[in-house]
Amino acid sequence: MFQAPPPNFQDEPPKECEPEIERTTELESPSSMPTIVQSAVCQAMDTRIFQIESAFTRGFSGFHLIGNATEICRDGKERAKAALEYIGIHIPPRKLVVSLTPADIKKDGNQFDLPIAMTLALLLKVEARAIDPSRWLFAAELGLSGEIRPVKGVVSFAVAAIAAGLSGIVVAKENLPDIIMLAKISGEHMKGIKLLGFSNIADVVHWVYTGLEPDAANEPCALRQDPSHHATPSDAPDSTNFPDYDDMILVPDLKKAALTIAAGLHSVLLRGSPGTGKSMFSARLPSILPKMNEDVHIEAMKIHSAFSERLPTGILMGRAPFRAPHHQASSVAVLGNPSCPGELSLAHGGILFLDEIPEFRRDLIESLREPLETGEVRVSRANKKIVWKAKVILAAACNNCPCGWSGSHRKQCRCSTQRLHAYQQKLSGPILERIDIHINMPESKEKKSEIFLALARGQTKEQTEGMAAHVIETRRFASERNKTFGVMFNRDLQASHLIEASGLSKDGFSTLVNTFIPRTASSRAAIRALRVARTLADLDFSPRIRDEDLRQAWGWQAEMAAKERGDHAQGF
């Protein structure tokens, strides 16, 4: 039987290997090597820098974004693809991997759109580069036609880029004024880093490959530090036009209280009948506050940058913020959460005004205890624990009863004893003791026509200017002493500092305290009274606390204010 000879494999031509050779060659080409750029994500007051890497790999075609990204971040890859296609950079049908590293931290936010698009453009466009993009931080959202849009957190991103020693930061043009102002404030710290703003991704790609910046708006950082350069955008929200005390007649005690609050940054609770000027007084406090110092200003900018894409004009210019949430605000709205600051933190460096404070939720009022002591809001969740700065002047106002007329000589109170007691119990003793100054607002006994005539005659003209100047001089006087204690303001003096800060001998200090502060007073109330007394002495540029200073300071404490009102329901 005939048998076919075995096949001679040596005579067979080798199989075709061209596709494998082509694939290997392509992966080893410059366009297939991983490309890297930098971006960042805010974690409250801290910022973490991440690397965005992209590369082609073997396998089925597709675009894969890896690295523990949220839905917003994953959507960014589609925006990046559309933007690149629009400007003529086409993505081939191959397997493409974009990695956000380190992978163990969750990435959230739309600021990853631009860095994802840039790492893809660098991967696909094989040309010599004039700029090393791996030394730059990119943060912006992309439109489908390639436009670059502002994002939150750019101030924190710029601070992180400086700390990491990067060459510069690329953001949307709308975000540029914020980091320009940061450069002015930081001065020497931002020399050597460039701040660039673009309006289209095509301009960013052109800049990377040619080194040519799009226009004169992106001048070197050193030029931006010129005080004559106006970085504040004219269309930004304006919060600098605070009302002032020039349209308010202040009795001497109220004027002294306003100066004390502003000079020592003391918290205050105003009680009184409707129309006695509680809200009016509080809303005008920012007009006599000096501008924030450098450290507080940068912290405030970081907080507001995490809250909004555009900083208010007042924050850019260093004005102390004034926040006044409604009494129906939730705890999260006031305290914040891991991704967004609340009203308490947005008031950092300025004033948080709680009008009708008893109408706020009880748990919200009680949650203010720790922030008022520490100047921080600590938000804890299962997988995230963050800290927001919250050093504020708490200004609160309330009536004496639900109807408002308890103790008034104008109208008769119609509240039952039960309602009055329940209203008073809404503010607990621990909260009241954490407020430095308690003022019972007096009802005016002058005729209304006399008040309007006094305002018309200009009797209060330039009142605010004089008060603001007095506050600045008082702070300057106190700062020389407080530097030795490592604090800036009298409200931050520790118990161990009080004897030396008083300017008295140990015996003199003991005599003063024993004379004016009763033994039944709590240590917290005594400490706060001594801090206020120190500020009262500073207002007169006195090196030591005098008897009248501590007498007035203790008269402003919760216990004495309650006795003055005849209110004993709270245990005073």
| Rounded CA separation 495/524 (Å) | 9
Q: Are residues 375 and 328 in the same domain?
A: yes
> Would residue 136 count as lying in a domain?
yes
Contacts of 436 (CB under 8 A, 6+ apart): 264, 266, 267, 268, 491, 528, 531, 532, 556
Rounded Cα distance, 43 and 23, in Å: 42
Rounded distance, CA 349 to CA 4, Å?
95
In a domain, 458, yes or no: no
* Position 110 in a domain: yes
Domain that residue 253 falls in: 245-445
CA–CA gap between residue 119 and residue 352 (Å, rounded): 43
How far is residue 103's CA from residue 214's CA, in Å, rounded to a whole number? Answer: 34
- Looking at the structure, tell me whether residues 47 and 97 fall in a common domain: yes
| pLDDT given at position 410 | 86
* Six-digit token string for 91: 């993505």
What does DSSP assign to residue 4? P
Q: Is there a cis peptide before residue 290, judged by omega within 30 degrees of 0?
A: no
The CATH number of the domain holding residue 48 is 3.30.230.10
In whole angstroms, what is the distance from residue 369 CA to residue 371 CA?
A: 6
Q: Which residues of the chain have pLDDT under 70?
A: 1-33, 188-189, 214-241, 445-460, 568-572
Strand duo 95-101 + 46-57: pairing: antiparallel
Q: How many domains does the chain have?
A: 3
Segment 39-80, tens digit of pLDDT: 999 988 999 999 999 998 888 888 899 999 999 999 999 999
- Strands 46-57 and 268-271 turn out to be unpaired
**Do 510 and 398 share a structural domain?**
no
Domain end (from 427, 445, 463): 445
Distance CA 440, CA 424 (A): 14
Cα gap 532→436, rounded to integer Å: 7
pLDDT digits (tens, 9 = 90+) for 526-565: 999 999 999 999 999 999 999 999 999 999 999 999 888 8
Give the domain-ending residue among 407, 429, 445. 445
Inside any domain, residue 376: yes
- Residue 251 and residue 353 in one domain: yes
* pLDDT computed for residue 408 by the predictor: 87
φ, ψ for residue 190, nearest 5 deg: -105, 10
Which pTM was predicted? 0.86
Q: Rounded to an integer, what distance in angstroms lies between the CA atom of residue 85 and that of residue 81?
A: 6
Q: How far apart are the first and last CA of the chain?
A: 121
Q: Specify the CATH number for the domain of residue 345.
A: 3.40.50.300
Say if residue 177 is in the same domain as residue 96.
yes
Q: What is the pLDDT of residue 125?
A: 85
Are 251 and 171 in a shared domain?
no
Question: What helix, strand, coil percent values describe the chain, rounded to 5?
Answer: 45, 15, 40
Q: Encoding tokens for residue 555?
A: 């008269």
CA dist., res. 381 & res. 371, Å (int): 18
Residue 238 covered by a domain: no
| DSSP notation for 374-419 | HSEEEEE-SS-EEEEE---EEEEEE-SSSSS-TT-SSS-----HHH
Residue 334 inside a domain? The answer is yes
DSSP 238: P
Q: Answer yes or no: do 297 and 427 share one domain.
A: yes
Element containing residue 243 per DSSP (H, E): none
